[in-house]
Structure 1
Amino acid sequence: MTLPLIAVPRVSRDASAYPHSPKTSIADMAAPVRPHADDARSVVIPESGHVIPDEQPELLAEALLEFLE
């Protein structure tokens, strides 16, 4: 199964910084997809927040191109 790339901002690795956020990691949320997608992967774009295309356009483009190849 081919799935689209989903960019999810990650501001802090410390969940306690966001007390009202779900206590689930991105990896935990992605786990149910892995058995159905041979090519499931995750990419962390450093130094980015909610607007990844503006904050790290080159790194996002690299991740997208790698995914599309």
Structure 2
Amino acid sequence: MFRQNGDLFKQIPVHVVHEDRRSVVIANDGNITAGAYLAQNSAASLNRVLKSQSASGQEPGVHVHADGTTHAAH
């Protein structure tokens, strides 16, 4: 799961309780707070960007922006 923080997205771990074609139920483990903006339709694309970057040898901690651009951690 990706949570938006300003103009960046941060990958956070979640526990999926149930999943079907249209929705996903996530356990209430405290990782997601009320009012948080989460990537819903583009999480798979964001994950592919992060995976391709790690395969390219870039340092971990790369931020993914809402528009899909990336940069190294501050």
What TM-score, normalized to structure 2? Answer: 0.27
Give the number of the structure whose residues are more often strand, by fraction: 2
Point out the structure with the larger helix share.
1
- The higher-RCO structure (CA 8 Å, 6+ apart) is 1
TM-score (structure 1 length as normaliser): 0.28
